[in-house]
Structure 1
Amino acid sequence: MTERSPAPGGLALVEALVNTLDIESGADSLDTAEGRARFGITRDGEAEQARVLRESLRAVLLAHAGHPPHREVTPLGDLLAGTPLVVTVDTTDGSAALTPADDRPLPARVAAAVAEALVAGTWTRLKACEAADCHWAYYDRSPAGRGRWCSMQVCGARAKMRRYRAKGA
Structure 2
Amino acid sequence: MTDRAPAPGGLALVEALVNTLDLESGEDRLDTPDGRAEFGATEAGLADVRALRESLRAVCLAHAGHPPHREVTPLGALLARAPLLVAVDQRDGSAALAPADAGDLPSRVAAAVAEALTAGTWLRLKACELPDCHWAYFDRSPAGKGRWCSMSVCGARAKMRRYRAK
Q: TM-score, normalised by structure 1?
A: 0.96
Range with bigger deviation, 3-12 or 27-36: 3-12
Structure 1 position 35 matched with structure 2 position 35:
yes
Which consecutive unaligned segments of at least 5 residues does structure 2 have? none
The alignment partner of 1:7 has SS state of: coil
2:17 maps to which residue? 17
Matches within 5 A, 1:8-157: 8-42=8-42, 44-157=43-156
The alignment partner of 1:8 has SS state of: coil
Cα RMSD (Å):
0.8
Q: 1:127 corresponds to which letter in structure 2?
A: K
The alignment partner of 2:98 has SS state of: strand
Whole-angstrom CA distance in 2 between matches of 1:27 and 1:136:
13
Q: What is the Cα deviation at residue 4 of structure 1? A: 2.1
Q: Identity over the aligned pairs, expressed in percent?
A: 78
The alignment covers a number of residue pairs equal to 166
Q: What is the Cα deviation at residue 48 of structure 1? A: 1.4
Deviation digits for residues 25-76 of structure 1, max 9, x if unmatched? 000000000000000113x321211110000000000000000112100000
The alignment partner of 1:108 has SS state of: helix
Whole-angstrom CA distance in 2 between matches of 1:69 and 1:45:
26
Whole-angstrom CA distance in 2 between matches of 1:10 and 1:89:
18
Q: 2:80 corresponds to which letter in structure 1?
A: A
1:7 maps to which residue? 7
Q: 2:27 corresponds to which letter in structure 1?
A: A
Whole-angstrom CA distance in 1 between matches of 2:112 and 2:24:
27
The alignment partner of 2:126 has SS state of: strand
- Runs of 4+ off more than 3 Å: none
Whole-angstrom CA distance in 1 between matches of 2:53 and 2:3:
19
Q: 1:19 corresponds to which letter in structure 2?
A: N
The alignment partner of 2:137 has SS state of: strand
Whole-angstrom CA distance in 2 between matches of 1:10 and 1:154:
26
Q: TM-score, normalised by structure 2?
A: 0.98
Whole-angstrom CA distance in 2 between matches of 1:2 and 1:103:
28
Q: What is the Cα deviation at residue 6 of structure 1? A: 0.7
Whole-angstrom CA distance in 1 between matches of 2:149 and 2:86:
34
